[in-house]
């Protein structure tokens, strides 16, 4: 009886031990499985975070799918990206230059210069440079001088002049295309040039109407004239430097011979010069230009006794044309 009882207790204890061992084994397996899953989840999450932070994965393109840790990730490239306003160095897994610039939200246009080319593979370069190109138009204007026209006016007294129309300057415009790279001017190209404003001629009316007048000479006689001029007057004689006893027209140099600028006073014009007397335009010279006359004497002694120095704004009287 006692043996049966002992055997029964041993059998029950054995069963309890076996059952406990089985449960312990199952629990151990389950625990390891759960722990492994958690480790994989934690590892995947860390990988995803690190990839995003390191620019391996664009967070805007990240999909909520689990990462297969058995799959080999593409190698990251270290790239320097330089623009006018910034310089940065990043790790990236993108394939070409355009993809890297787009991922960094760096804007550029078709006019801008990207080095290397947009389709260049990142594996072939360690640096990307963006040069911003800007083109502007510029205009420059220069003045065009006006000409002067002289017209005869039969209703205006001989020797008188009147401005009929004032001259107006014209304008010549040139257009240039300016090219800037990163804000610095690198090229200036002429595109077009044209007369933007036509000049307007100055018109002067010159009187031709003859009105005879008289002036009384020191001896009491009358000199008939039609025109007066305000001129500079000097005197000369054959002994002056560059002078001779013959005039440019071949006449003997003596008192009564006057050198003139024939463009102002025509040759053979008779005139009265106060302080000198009556003379005729029979000579000219290299220094005689404009409203300037040189009254002649036969000798230095005669000149010294009758004329001294230079007289400015001296009024002379020109005889009427024949």
- Residue 20 in domain: no
DSSP category for residue 122 = G
Do 223 and 310 fall within a single domain? yes
Mean pLDDT of successive 10-residue stretches along the chain, which has 322 residues: 48 62 61 44 37 41 42 72 92 88 93 93 83 96 96 91 96 97 95 96 94 94 94 95 92 96 96 96 94 96 92 95 81
- Residue 9 in domain: no
Domain that holds residue 194: 134-206
Do 220 and 314 fall within a single domain? yes
Do 228 and 306 fall within a single domain? yes
At 311 the pLDDT is 93
Work out how many domains the chain is built from and give that number: 3
- Residue 156 in domain: yes
At 42 the pLDDT is 33
- Residue 33 in domain: no
DSSP category for residue 266 = -
Q: Which of 101, 131, 161 is the C-terminal boundary of a domain?
A: 131
Do 229 and 281 fall within a single domain? yes
**Using an 8 Å Cβ cutoff, are 204 and 164 in contact?**
yes
- Residue 3 in domain: no
Question: CA-CA distance, 271 to 106, in Å (whole number)?
Answer: 88
Can you read off the two tokens belonging to residue 214?
């008289």
Q: Which of 232, 257, 253, 228 is nearest to 309 (CA)?
A: 232
Do 250 and 282 fall within a single domain? yes
- Residue 15 in domain: no
Question: CA-CA distance, 317 to 273, in Å (whole number)?
Answer: 7
């Amino acid at each position: 009886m006692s043996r049966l009882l002992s055997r029964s207790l041993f059998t029950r204890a054995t069963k309890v031990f076996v059952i406990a061992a089985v449960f312990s084994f199952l629990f151990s397996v389950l625990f390891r499985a759960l722990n492994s899953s958690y480790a994989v989840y934690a590892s995947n999450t860390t990988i995803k975070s690190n990839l995003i932070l390191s620019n391996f994965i664009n967070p805007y393109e990240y999909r909520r799918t689990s990462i297969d840790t058995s799959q080999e990730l593409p190698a990251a490239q270290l790239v320097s990206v330089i623009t006018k306003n910034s310089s940065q160095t990043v790790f990236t897994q993108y394939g070409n230059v355009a993809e890297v610039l787009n991922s960094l939200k760096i804007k550029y246009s078709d006019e801008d210069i990207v080095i290397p080319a947009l389709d260049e593979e990142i594996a072939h370069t360690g640096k990307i440079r963006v040069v911003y190109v800007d083109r502007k138009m510029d205009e420059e204007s220069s003045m065009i001088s006006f000409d002067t026209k002289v017209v005869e006016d039969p209703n205006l007294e001989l020797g008188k002049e009147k401005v009929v129309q004032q001259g107006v300057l014209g304008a010549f415009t040139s257009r240039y295309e300016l090219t800037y790279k990163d804000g610095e001017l690198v090229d200036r190209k002429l595109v077009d040039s044209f007369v933007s404003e036509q000049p307007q001629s100055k018109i002067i009316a010159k009187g031709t109407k003859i009105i005879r007048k008289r002036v009384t000479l020191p001896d009491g006689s009358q000199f008939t004239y039609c025109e007066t001029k305000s001129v500079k007057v000097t005197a000369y004689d054959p002994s002056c430097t560059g002078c001779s006893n013959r005039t440019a027209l071949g006449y003997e140099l003596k008192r009564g011979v006057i050198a003139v600028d024939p463009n102002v006073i025509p040759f053979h014009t008779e005139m009265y010069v106060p302080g000198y007397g009556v003379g005729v335009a029979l000579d000219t010279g290299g220094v005689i230009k404009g409203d300037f006359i040189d009254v002649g004497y036969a000798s230095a002694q005669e000149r010294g006794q009758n004329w001294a120095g230079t007289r400015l704004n001296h009024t002379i009287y020109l005889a009427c044309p024949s």
